């Protein structure tokens, strides 16, 4: 079993980007600038956005964090988005999800200038991704592709089963793994809450991507011997023995599934850090005025 070390791979990518930033600034170009909007005080979102801002500092980017209180109206948020759209200093920006219930996520996503949409959530980028055209790929799927590529995991002709059809992970992952590209060229099965006999399908998976957000859902009996297992889950499970009162669990019961896997991502230290690396890669591309085909 080989551990797909997202923490190290993410640091490797960030070191490569830091070098590119130095080259750019030496030539007189400005530093890439990422902005993030955080609405409300969800603990997990604060942690994620904090990690994104820290990564910007590490690679020599400028960063701007805009924090808005939970009472912010949709109209006020849309006005902030428009300010970033038209601010030439900002190369790319994200609006951290989830947003408070009174705000329509989709309306906000559609308000972002697709050329600054480093999350790859705008319908224009999603459509281009489906057509295999240059675009910003969403950070989590892009991070998983990077991990598969850097560990030279064979994907062509494999059966990839994805659990979860979220717009952020499962749905784009299913599109990307079916593309005529590397990583890709898989036969893909996208499963969700209405899927019948899920274990029968997961047992057929050469590559299993688990993104449903239920702690330790996938057990060894659901996994084929030698499978590649990608765990996207990050759930805070209450744990009195921990100082902060919780532990972080993935969607996969790690120890018993790892024993059957050829490659597996740990949680934490697998997909999570790769998401950060992808966002940084997309921001560099935005600053260079390109968007990635990533194929
Ligand atoms: N919430 C969970 N994942 C993401 C992400 O990749 N981008 C944003 N903006 N919000 C998220």
Between vectors from CA 192 to CA 191 and to CA 194, what angle results, nearest 5°? 110
Express each pLDDT in 58-77 by its tens digit: 999 999 999 999 999 999 99
> How many Å lie between the centroid of ligand 1 and the Cα of residue 204?
30
Report which protein residue has its CA nearest ligand 1's atom 1.
97
Express each pLDDT in 27-57 by its tens digit: 999 999 999 999 999 999 999 999 999 999 9
Express each pLDDT in 104-138 by its tens digit: 999 999 999 999 999 999 999 999 999 999 999 99
* Ligand 1 atom having least distance to the Cα of 96: 9
Q: Is 96 a catalytic residue?
A: yes
User: Domains of the chain, with CATH numbers?
Assistant: 27-114 (3.40.50.10860), 139-273 (3.40.50.720)
Our mutation pick for probing the ligand 1 site, out of 97, 98, 121, 277, counting the most ligand atoms within 8 A of Cβ, is 97
Average pLDDT over residues 180-194: 98
Q: Of 139, 141, 145, 106, which Cα lies nearest the Cα of 122?
A: 106
Q: What is the chain's percent helix, strand, coil content, to nearest 5?
A: 40, 20, 40
Express each pLDDT in 284-294 by its tens digit: 999 998 665 44
Is there a contact between 234 and 244 (Cβ–Cβ < 8 Å)? no
Q: In the predicted model, is pLDDT for residue 141 greater than 80?
A: yes
> Would you say the CB of residue 168 lies under 6 angstroms from ligand 1?
yes
Against a cut of 0.75, is the pTM above it? yes
Q: Is 128 a catalytic residue?
A: no
pLDDT of residue 295: 35
> Would you say the CB of residue 171 lies under 6 angstroms from ligand 1?
no
* Ligand 1 atom having least distance to the Cα of 36: 9
Is there a contact between 283 and 32 (Cβ–Cβ < 8 Å)? yes
> Would you say the CB of residue 96 lies under 6 angstroms from ligand 1?
yes
Ranges assigned E (strand) in the chain? 2-3, 33-39, 62-68, 92-95, 159-163, 187-191, 207-210, 227-231, 235-238, 246-249, 261-264
């Amino acid at each position: 079993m080989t551990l797909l070390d997202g923490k190290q791979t993410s640091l490797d990518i960030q070191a490569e980007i830091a070098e590119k930033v130095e080259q750019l600034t030496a030539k007189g170009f400005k530093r890439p600038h990422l902005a993030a909007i955080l609405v409300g005080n969800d603990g997990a979102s604060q942690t994620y956005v904090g990690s994104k801002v820290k990564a910007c500092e590490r690679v020599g980017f400028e960063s701007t964090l805009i924090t808005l209180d939970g009472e912010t109206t949709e109209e006020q948020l849309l006005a902030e988005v428009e300010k970033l759209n038209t601010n030439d200093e900002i190369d790319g920006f994200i609006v951290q999800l989830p947003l408070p219930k009174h705000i329509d996520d989709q309306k906000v996503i559609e308000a972002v200038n697709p050329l600054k949409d480093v999350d790859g959530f705008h319908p224009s980028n999603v459509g281009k991704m489906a057509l295999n055209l240059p675009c910003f790929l969403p950070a989590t799927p892009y991070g998983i592709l990077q991990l598969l590529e850097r560990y030279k995991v064979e994907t062509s002709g494999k059966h990839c089963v994805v659990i979860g059809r979220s717009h952020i992970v499962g749905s784009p992952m299913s599109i990307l793994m079916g593309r005529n590209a590397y990583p890709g060229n898989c036969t893909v099965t996208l499963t969700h809450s209405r899927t019948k006999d899920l274990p029968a399908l997961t047992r057929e998976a050469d590559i299993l991507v688990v993104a449903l957000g239920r702690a330790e859902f996938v057990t060894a009996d659901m996994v084929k011997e030698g499978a590649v297992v990608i765990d996207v889950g990050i759930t805070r499970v209450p744990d009195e023995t921990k100082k902060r009162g919780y532990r972080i669990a993935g969607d996969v019961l790690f120890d018993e599934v790892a024993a059957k896997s050829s490659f597996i991502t740990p949680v934490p230290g697998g997909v999570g850090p790769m998401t950060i690396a992808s966002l940084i890669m997309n921001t560099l591309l935005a600053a260079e005025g390109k968007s990635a085909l990533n194929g």
